[in-house]
Amino acid sequence: MPESPKFCIYGAGAIGGMIGGMLAHVGASVTMIARGKTLAAMKQRGLRVITPGETLDIPVTASADPAELGPQDYVIIAVKTPALPEVAVRIAPLLGPDTAVVTAMNGIPWWFFANDNGALAGRPLPAVDPDGTIARAIPVTSVIGCVVYFASSLDGPGIVRHNAHCKLLVGEVDGTSTARLARLAYWLRRAGFDCVESSNIRSDIWLKVWGNLTTNPISMLTAATVGRIIEDPLVRELCVRMMEEAAQVGQAIGIPPGLSVSEMVDRVRSFGAVKTSMLQDAERGTPVEIDALLTVMHDIGEMVHVPTPFIDSVLGLARLRAKGLGLLPASDTGQPVPANDAFALGRTS
């Protein structure tokens, strides 16, 4: 077996716990950043991963302080996007000159236009990095993008249940093939993931957002599962209109969706009676990822002069609902950033 690189999983929730647990199970060198009850549970009995075939109790080294762990070969960030500014402030001790930062997160990331060749090249995205803190803390040259296509959940602190699928897409921001990308993919495959090295991770990210930006916020507003949302003809039509708008935005920035709207609707329908991550977050009382899915789509639409009235309407309703539940930061004004102000705020996705 090749010597394992040093992996640090920043965020030991359902996604980070699954990735870190499976890597550790096959002998990779894994540490985890966690806090509260999750940290206490892992210090006491390690990490438990429940799969359809077996239950794995996996010893892991966990800490709340990145300074205790030192520089890593790979830092896999697996937190909800509202927590990312705090990660950026604390991540420095984990980063050496050759550390790769893998963003295993939902939504449009802060670095999205960093390597773009079009009119938006280098554009910051204030919706997901309002003051540039993330961009300053994590150099885009260190980033490897990641799209997660598996379902997992938490049965309790440090107890992860794998529910379905096991696919990961990983890719360099500039689309190149590198040794660090190949090494990452090798270990993820060894851990049991169907890991694909992508030559266009930005398109892969956009495709997933295109599917998520409808059912996620609508489920938070209605408490309905994906299946109920898609089977209701009026709500399905709303989803279709939102997808059409997002597809037009994608075309304007040079990222066609790759699927027709009807094909995406069928794909979403196939998930059936499942709760979206945003609905689960709302039920748990944890921050929801509105900005990385909806606000950023509104902002990019304004940048390229593509109107998004259906997306904007759901964004406004979702903000009101999240504020009523206390799930948005107190500093959030609820107003999208005007496109002509976005670049002046100085930030990157």
DSSP alpha helices (H): ranges in 119-162? 133-137
Cα separation, 347 vs 349, in Å, equals 7
Q: Quick check: pTM over 0.85?
A: yes
Q: Provide the residue ranges of all domains of the chain, joining segments of one domain with +.
A: 6-199, 204-345
Question: What residues does 95 pair with on adjacent strands?
Answer: 72
Cα separation, 8 vs 179, in Å, equals 19
Domain at 6-199: CATH code: 3.40.50.720
Joined together, the tokens standing for residue 136 give 């300053």
Of 43, 167, 208, 275, the catalytic one is 208
Cα separation, 109 vs 181, in Å, equals 18
Please answer whether residues 167 and 149 qualify as being in contact, where contact means their C-beta atoms are separated by less than 8 angstroms.
yes
Q: Give how far Cα 341 sits from Cα of 118, 296, 302, 316, Å.
A: 19, 14, 11, 20
Is 6 part of the annotated catalytic residue set? no
Please answer whether residues 243 and 260 qualify as being in contact, where contact means their C-beta atoms are separated by less than 8 angstroms.
no
* Amino acid 116: pLDDT: 85
* Amino acid 343: pLDDT: 28
Cα separation, 73 vs 52, in Å, equals 31
Separation of first and last alpha carbons in the chain: 36
* Amino acid 273: pLDDT: 83
Residue 195: exposure state from Cβ atoms within 10 A (0-12, 13-18, ≥19): buried
Joined together, the tokens standing for residue 333 give 């004004």
Joined together, the tokens standing for residue 90 give 């604390």
Domain at 204-345: CATH code: 1.10.1040.10
CATH topology identical between 6-199 and 204-345: no
DSSP 8-state class, residue 26: T
Give me the helix-helix angle, 233-252 and 296-303, nearest 10°: 50
Specify the long-range contacts of residues 317-324, CB closer than 8 Å, at least 24 apart.
Answer: 317/217, 317/221, 318/217, 318/220, 318/221, 318/288, 318/290, 318/294, 319/290, 321/220, 321/221, 321/282, 322/220, 322/282, 322/288, 322/290
* Amino acid 329: pLDDT: 61
* Strand-pair category, 6-10 with 143-156: unpaired
Q: What is the pLDDT along the chain (349 residues), one digit of tens a residue?
A: 689 999 999 999 999 999 999 999 999 999 999 999 999 999 999 999 999 889 999 999 999 999 999 999 999 999 999 999 999 999 999 999 999 999 999 999 999 999 888 889 999 999 999 999 999 999 999 999 999 998 888 899 999 999 888 999 999 999 999 999 999 999 999 999 999 999 999 999 999 999 899 999 999 999 999 999 999 999 999 999 999 999 999 999 999 888 899 999 998 888 888 888 899 899 989 999 999 999 999 999 999 999 999 999 999 999 999 999 999 764 454 443 333 332 222 222 2
